[in-house]
Amino acid sequence: MQVIPGVEVTTRDGHLLALFIEDRPPALRSLAATTDWVLQRGGVCLAPHPFTRWTHSLSRRAMLDAVAHNWLAGLEVLNASLAGRASRPHALKFAGQHHLASLGGSDAHMLGIVGLARTRFPGRTPADLRRAIDSRTTFAEGRFARPREIAVEALPQLARSMVHLPVRRVVRFARGQFTSP
């Protein structure tokens, strides 16, 4: 297995995916400052989950600005999350109109979702992926997560965060143990 270093960073203008970097960009800076930071370190900037209403995505205006300044190499046109389903037509159109690399991503906050959406490219190595993004020869493939697939993992996770952890904290507080779990 080969790993491509990267991070999704929150900018003031929305989320940005930075690949091929070793360090985490500073958060909550402008899109211009963040993309500059990434590009100076040899990274690639991509727009994850574009046009979704439920996430802090880059706005159309921010993406147009990024395209005009040549900051953005690609766009996640297939995001396996429920939010990605509604935004896919807009993402495909935008990527095509602006000649951006088309990528797929699981946006996997749960193990069962990993790999549902992915990016195909000519080659097998991280260097091949980099060349494919730069030459716009990537292809998004896969499918969206089904509500049931998400519910199987999300409901127990929700129960833990809303019931079990608060109860544990109350018990610890009552016992005089004030530290976090």
Confidence of residue 178 (pLDDT cuts 50, 70, 90): low
pTM (whole model) above 0.85: no
Q: Are residues 103 and 156 in the same domain?
A: no
Q: Is residue 122 part of a domain?
A: yes
The percent of residues above 70 in pLDDT, for the chain, comes to: 97
The partner residues of 46 in beta bridges, in order of sequence, read: 17, 74
Domain count, the chain: 2
Q: Are residues 120 and 40 in the same domain?
A: yes
Confidence of residue 149 (pLDDT cuts 50, 70, 90): confident
Distance set, CA 148 to CA 23, 144, 158 (Å): 36, 11, 15
Q: Are residues 74 and 139 in the same domain?
A: yes
The answer to whether 157 and 109 have CB atoms below 8 angstroms apart is no
Q: Are residues 98 and 49 in the same domain?
A: yes
Cα–chain center distance at 169 = 32
Q: Which domain holds residue 176?
A: 146-181
Q: Is residue 1 part of a domain?
A: no
Q: Are residues 53 and 88 in the same domain?
A: yes
Phi, psi values for residue 136, rounded to 5°: 60, 40
What CATH number is associated with residue 59? 3.20.20.140
